[in-house]
Structure 1
Amino acid sequence: MIDIDPNGTGLPGIEQLRTIVGAVMTVGLILSVLALIVSAIIWAYGSNSSNPHLAGRGKIGVLVSCGAAVVCGASVTLINFFWGVGQAV
């Protein structure tokens, strides 16, 4: 039976890589909030100007930015969940 777990000290630079990944997650969340604000403005402008195409694009933008925020925020939990599922196989 083989028992292998992730090794956090096996390679040099792991801590720096963790810092970089955390910074990228932060940037992703900030950009998701920015996209949500811009999409909400486009949705409101499209609704008020009787432009259904623009309003629809704004709605899609709001949904996509919320989805991106969920993925960025829950990425560590998702990876840990699927790691656990993979270990159970």
Structure 2
Amino acid sequence: MKLIQHAQILAYNPGVSPSEGGLPGLDVLKKVMGSINLFGIIAVVGALAISAIVWAWGHHSGGHQAEANGKKGTVVAAGCALLLGAANGIVAFFSAMGTQVH
């Protein structure tokens, strides 16, 4: 019986949910976060271009270390672009999972 009571404690809903308009400055914060995301995407475009150049230069000059670093940089930049572009969707998906009733 104690095990069931413990499970009920873990499933307790405190009744707190996100709501807009609770604090002043929410619109400003959204604009700031959007601007940071835009700057990140612009930086990733530059990093992707530089990494691709290093990859090509290393490949054509026989510099295996430069080629490997260019490949790594390209993959990392592409991953960052994916995460920055999908940030809103990822957060929305996982925050919605917390509101589902079992």
Instruction: Bin the TM-score by the shorter chain.
Output: over 0.9
- Which residue does the alignment assign to 2:34? 22
Instruction: Please report the TM-score for the alignment, with normalisation by the length of structure 2.
Output: 0.82
Larger Rg: 2
C-alpha separation between the residues in 2 aligned to 1:59 and 1:49? 15
- Which residue does the alignment assign to 1:68? 80
Instruction: Please report the TM-score for the alignment, with normalisation by the length of structure 1.
Output: 0.93
Moved over 4 A (4+): none
- Over aligned residues, Cα RMSD in angstroms? 1.4
- Which residue does the alignment assign to 2:63? 51
Number of aligned positions between the proteins: 89
Secondary structure of residue in 1 paired with 2:20: coil
Task: In structure 2, list runs of 5 or more residues that go unmatched.
Answer: 1-12
Q: Sequence identity of aligned pairs in percent?
A: 35
Greater relative CO (CA pairs within 8 A, separation 6+): 1
Task: In structure 1, list runs of 5 or more residues that go unmatched.
Answer: none
